[in-house]
Structure 1
Amino acid sequence: MATIKDVAKEAGVSVATVSRVVNKSPKASKAAIESVNAAMTKLGYRPNANARALVSKSTNTIGVLVADVSDPFFGALIKAVDGVARANNKHLLIGNGYHDANIEKEAIELLMNSQCQSLIIHAKGLSDDELIQFANEVPGLVVINRHIPEIAHRCISLDNELGSLLATEHLIESGHKELAYINSNQNIDDCHHRQLGYLNALKKHHLTSNSALIVEAEPSDEGGEEAMAELLSRGVPFTGVVCYNDYMAAGALSTLEKQNISVPNDISLMGFDNGLIAKYLHPKLSTVDYPIHTMAEQAAELSLALVKGNSSDITGAIFQASLIERSSVKNQS
């Protein structure tokens, strides 16, 4: 395998000159660039990415941490960041955190050790203080789907409480008074804020909350099936259900179908996220739009701007959810 010394000998230049060409130094002359590139092509020499990073103190990469890359929600996030990365001639390094503080910490440190100056971090296990410390170490670090007041200018988040309130109010304004809530069993802020939005909507409209109408399960279609089965087994009447996400709503719908309970004629159903599945359920799912693509793009652009020291035109933001009305809610007014 050819080495940098072989390339220097073939090109008739010094090793330092080869290094300048490889790292695109403005000090490299046109003649040196041509001779070194010709030598690298002839010898099949491929510059080592780590070596380039040590010289330039950076890489051509944006680091991204998500909870689970297999989740379509995070797939959409990654795709949006990748679009910004490619527009800026960069590539992605991706890590999974699984909402576990230790795994998240290890993944962030790995991305930092890989010389990523831009980091888009979706972390739910690490504390605010730990993320603030990482932000102090990496000027291009941006937190997504979480608001930390001390670094609010570097956070891109959604008002989850408002989103759930909108979903619940849609059912209330459609004439429903006995409302259940299916929540994720994860101990993360999204779950707490969305349930709070549901409870605040009931309070706002002078409706009494009933703990028997609140259940938790895994935030998946299987979890939604189990949660709806549990709700039905409790024997407490309800005509509408707000779900933590669209997949739980899909599972809930499946359980209702098995019990010959019609949606929306017997029970109305609301999701959250407006994922692809929402449009293809039958009936089509009314839900709350989570603008993750736009949020992820802004997070990536903010990160790159922070690295350049030019973030005056873009800053952190709290996005607002919006109601998407389809066919899973019946108007009883």
Structure 2
Amino acid sequence: MATIKDVAKEAGVSVATVSRVMNNSSHASASTKQLVKNAMKKLGYRPNANARALVSQSTNTIGVLIGDVSDPFYGSMVKAIDSIAIQHGKHLLIGNGYHNAEFEREVIELLINSRCESLVVHSKALSDEELIRFAQEKPSMVLINRYIAEIGERCIALDNYRGSYAAVEHLIKMGHRRIGYVCSNHEIEDTIQRKNGYLAALKAHGIKHQPAFIECSMPTEIGGEEAMTNLLSKNLDLTAVATYNDYMAAGTLSVLDENGYSVPDDISLIGFDDGIIAKYLSPKLTTMRYPIQMMAEKAVHLALKLACGASVNDEVRIYVPTMVRRMSVKPRQ
């Protein structure tokens, strides 16, 4: 593998001159730059990115921690971040955390050690204390879909509680009182907040909570199928079901259809997230829109501002889900 010394010898210049050319120094003439570039091309030399970063104090990279790149939710998030990164001449370095503390920790440490200028971190498994320590080490680290009061100025979060409350209240206002809830079994704050929103809406409208009306499973289509199958097995005479997310709603819809229930004529169904799947189900799914693209853009803008020491006092921090009314909910007859 060619070294910078090999390039200098091939071009007939000093190592210092090669270094100046690689760093676009104005002290190198056009002819010298061309000599060095020709030598680099001939030898197949690639500059060491970490070494250059030590000199320039910049890698032009934004580190991103996500849950799972195969999930369309994170695909939308990364796409939004990348669109802003491109505008600023930056590239992304992405790692999967899989909602696992060990994986999330390894990815964040890798991103920091790789000298990423800014970090956008979607962490659900690490403790508040550990994320605070990382934030102290990396002043341009921003959390997305997580709020920690001690570093609240660097958090972009969603009001999951308020969104779930609104979804269930919508069902109640449509005349439904026997409302089931298909819940995630992931032990993360989103699960707790959305379940609490469901419970709070029932209480606010004088509807007694019945534990049998809640079933938990994986936050996937398969999990939705399992949870709804369990609810139907109890013969609860439900008139509506709220779900943790649109994937679970899709699984719920499948089970209802297989068992002869028409949505929304027999049972109304509402989702959460407004993922791409929601408008392609039959019937099209009424759901709560999670503005992940807007939040991701805000998070990366904030991270870039923090990296250059700009003021961020006027930034929006907490986003609220909004309802998307489609065809899966109707008034109770």
Given residue 181 of structure 2, which amino acid in structure 1 is its aligned partner?
Answer: Y
Which range is displaced more, 48-57 or 196-205?
48-57
Deviation at 1:25, TM superposition (A): 4.4
Number of the residue aligned with 2:305: 305
Corresponding residue for residue 75 of structure 2? 75
Aligned to 2:247: 247
Range moving further from structure 2, 131-140 or 28-37: 28-37
Does the 8 A contact of 1:154 with 1:316 survive in 2? no
Task: Please name the residue that 2:60 is paired with.
Answer: 60
Aligned counterpart, 1:154: 154
Once the two structures are TM-superposed, the CA of residue 44 in structure 1 deviates from its matched residue by: 3.2
SS of residue paired to 1:124: coil
**What is the CA–CA distance in structure 1 between the aligned matches of 2:136 and 2:56, rounded to whole Å?**
21
Residues 97, 104 of structure 1: 8 Å contact kept: yes
Q: Which amino acid aligns with 2:243?
A: C
Identify if the C-alpha distance between structure 1 residues 27 and 316 changes in structure 2 by more than 3 Å, giving closer, same or farther.
farther
- Tell me the residue number matched to 2:208: 208
**Map 1:126-141 → 2, pairs under 5 A:** 126-141=126-141
Q: Give me the whole-angstrom Cα distance separating, in 1, the residues matched to 2:173 and 2:76.
A: 32
Asked whether the equivalents of residues 302 and 314 of structure 1 are also in contact (C-alpha less than 8 Å), the reply is no
Please give the TM-score of this superposition, normalised by the length of structure 1.
Answer: 0.96
Conservation of the 8 A alpha-carbon contact between 2:239 and 2:332: no
Displacement, 1:74? 0.6
Listed one character per residue, the Cα deviations across residues 266-324 of structure 1 (whole Å, up to 9, x for unaligned) are 00000000000000000000000000001001111111110011133663510111000
Q: What are the residue-to-residue correspondences of 1:283-322 with 2, within 5 Å? A: 283-312=283-312, 315=315, 317-322=317-322
My pick for the range that moved more, 18-27 or 104-113, is 18-27
Alignment-derived partner of residue 44 in structure 1: 44
Q: Are the structure 2 counterparts of residues 74 and 314 from structure 1 closer, same or farther at C-alpha, using a change threshold of 3 Å? A: farther
**After the TM superposition, which of the residue ranges 310-319 and 67-76 deviates more from structure 2?**
310-319
* Mapping for residues 246-265 of structure 1, pairs under 5 Å: 246-265=246-265
Deviates more, 1:79-88 or 1:248-257: 79-88
Q: Residues 124-173 of structure 1, C-alpha deviation per residue, up to 9 Å, x if partnerless?
A: 11111100100001111000000111111100010000110111111111
CA-atom RMSD, angstroms? 1.6
Task: Give the alignment of 1:2-17 within 5 angstroms.
Answer: 2-17=2-17
Moved >6 Å (runs of 4+): none
Q: 1:136 to 1:31 in 2, by over 3 A?
A: farther
TM-superposed CA distance for 1:18, in Å, is 1.4
Please state how far the C-alpha of 1:259 moved relative to its aligned partner.
0.3
Quick one: distance in 2 between partners of 1:208 and 1:25? 72
Alpha-carbon spacing, 1:18–1:285, altered in 2? closer, same or farther (3 Å):
same
Distance 1:28 1:165 in 2: 64
Cα-to-partner distance string for 1:5-30 (whole Å, 9 max, x where unaligned): 12222333321221232233455555
SS in 1 for 2:141: strand
Letter in 2 for 1:332: R
Q: Identity rate of aligned residues, in percent?
A: 58
Quote the residue 2:112 is aligned against. Answer: 112
2:269–2:328 CA contact under 8 A, matched in 1: yes
Q: Which residue of 2 aligns with 1:163?
A: 163
Query: Given that residues 82 and 92 in structure 2 are in contact (C-alpha distance below 8 angstroms), is that contact kept between their aligned partners in structure 1?
Result: yes
Which residue of the partner structure matches residue 195 of structure 2?
Answer: 195
C-alpha displacement of 1:238: 1.3
Q: Deviations over 1:91-141 (max 9, x none)?
A: 111111111111111111011111112111000111111001000011110
How far 1:242 sits from its partner (Å)? Answer: 0.5
**Cα contact 1:183–1:191 (8 A) shared by 2:** yes
Gaps of 5+ in 2: none
CA distance in 2, matches of 1:203, 1:29: 76
Change (3 A) 1:270 1:143: same
Gaps of 5+ in 1: none
* TM-score normalized with structure 2 length: 0.96
CA contact (8 A) 2:178 2:238 kept: yes
Q: Which amino acid aligns with 1:291?
A: P
Q: Closer, same or farther in 2 for the Cα pair 1:192/1:61, shift >3 Å?
A: same
Cα deviation 1:40-88 (Å, max 9, x = unaligned): 2343322122322233343121110011111110111111111111111
Bigger mean CA offset, 149-158 vs 311-320: 311-320
Q: Is the 8 A contact 1:302 1:311 kept in 2?
A: no
2:274–2:287 contact (8 Å) kept in structure 1: yes
Q: Specify whether residues 149 and 29 from structure 1 end up closer, same or farther in structure 2 by C-alpha distance, changes over 3 A only.
A: farther
Count of matched residue positions in the alignment of Structure 1 and Structure 2: 333
